[in-house]
Amino acid sequence: MRRQLGDDAPTTAVTILDRAIDEARLATDELRELARGLHPAGLAELGLGAALEALAGRSPVPLRLGDLPERRLPEPVELTAYYLASEGVTNAHKYAEATEVRFEVLLRPDAVVLRLADDGRGGADPARGSGLAGLHDRVAALGGRLEIASPPGAGTRLEATIPLAPWRTAKEPFMEFGHDGDGGRGRELIDLVLEGRKTVTVSLAREWELEGGLPSIGLRLPVLDHHGRRHGMVEVVRVGVVPFSDVGEEVVDAEAAGAPSIAAWRERQRAFYEGCRDEIALLVGEPGWRLTDEEPMVLTWFRVV
């Protein structure tokens, strides 16, 4: 039909038709998403970042994307993040008269934080059927919480915090160093890895089992900090499993690890796992879990690629 109008067609008619074509394409895309079981096109294949960029490209309100994790998140978490952004854009356009929406995804060791803000008129009320009640239920279903701040005349801010442990999968294994309050030790370990001075890691065998089994020789793993930022890539060259008590000096360079002895290193490991044992207990499905001498540990040797 666009071609049939010809080059001499009135500008208004051409503009209206072009707009109708764009809207029809958008509607078709949305129908496809519904047919895929409410999975946005590209999310499963390309990840959250690509899906959000596509959303920004067709958003009726400018959508500014901030920090996004460089690794894949569990599928239910990615889906919830996408729909929080999508619902935020819809509300900003339909109700808030906003001129801009900002969205970011912050990765913590045990949770992901989704933050959305618009510069609209505020006054959003989940009880009025704006879609916020549905978002609250979706976040709660993942064990998370949604906080809404929308004072009249001051825009709307949403912040969802979702735990990661219950939703971990084998979609994209990775090697992570550091934790909040580690005094920069995680970054030091990453530097040692990238310099080739650290060539083995020790981790819980149960965590690998939850992610599809032990790492295989030749597997490539991104090296991440505890915020999900990628710093490099390593390739697995050897794998072993031993009880925690058998992890010795032939595996761990205590001095390089910042400990005066292998015994001190073990105590540091115990303290670390004690600090996150509730999360691990949830992850492995064992209430009251604690690191014992008999706990199977995976030794993963690697090289930088």
pLDDT attached to residue 12: 63
- Determine the average pLDDT of the residues in 269-283: 85
- Determine the average pLDDT of the residues in 241-257: 88
Confidence of residue 27 (pLDDT cuts 50, 70, 90): very low
- Determine the average pLDDT of the residues in 141-156: 93
Q: Rg for the chain (alpha carbons), in Å?
A: 24
CB burial string 115-125: b at 16+ within 10 A, e below: bbbbbbbbebe
Pick 1 or 154 by higher pLDDT.
154
Confidence of residue 182 (pLDDT cuts 50, 70, 90): confident
- In the predicted model, is pLDDT for residue 37 greater than 50? no
pLDDT attached to residue 131: 78
Confidence of residue 79 (pLDDT cuts 50, 70, 90): very high
User: Among candidates 53, 34, 157, 164, which has minimal Cα distance to 101?
Assistant: 157
- In the predicted model, is pLDDT for residue 166 greater than 80? no
> Please, what sign has the CA dihedral across residues 76, 78, 81, 86?
negative
The predicted-structure confidence for 83-136, as pLDDT tens digits, reads as follows: 999 999 998 998 889 999 999 999 887 789 999 999 999 988 777 765 788 899
Contact of 304 with 232, CB cutoff 8 Å? yes
Contact of 229 with 70, CB cutoff 8 Å? yes
The predicted-structure confidence for 67-77, as pLDDT tens digits, reads as follows: 998 888 888 99
The predicted-structure confidence for 196-238, as pLDDT tens digits, reads as follows: 989 999 999 988 887 778 889 999 999 988 887 889 999 999 9
pLDDT attached to residue 40: 74
First to last CA, the chain: 54
Which residue in the block uniquely carries the two structure tokens 């991104």? 222
Catalogue the E-assigned strands of the chain: 63-65, 101-107, 111-118, 145-149, 157-163, 175-177, 200-204, 220-225, 230-243, 296-304
Pick 152 or 178 by higher pLDDT.
152
Strands of the sheet with 111-118, listed across from one edge: 63-65, 101-107, 111-118, 157-163, 145-149
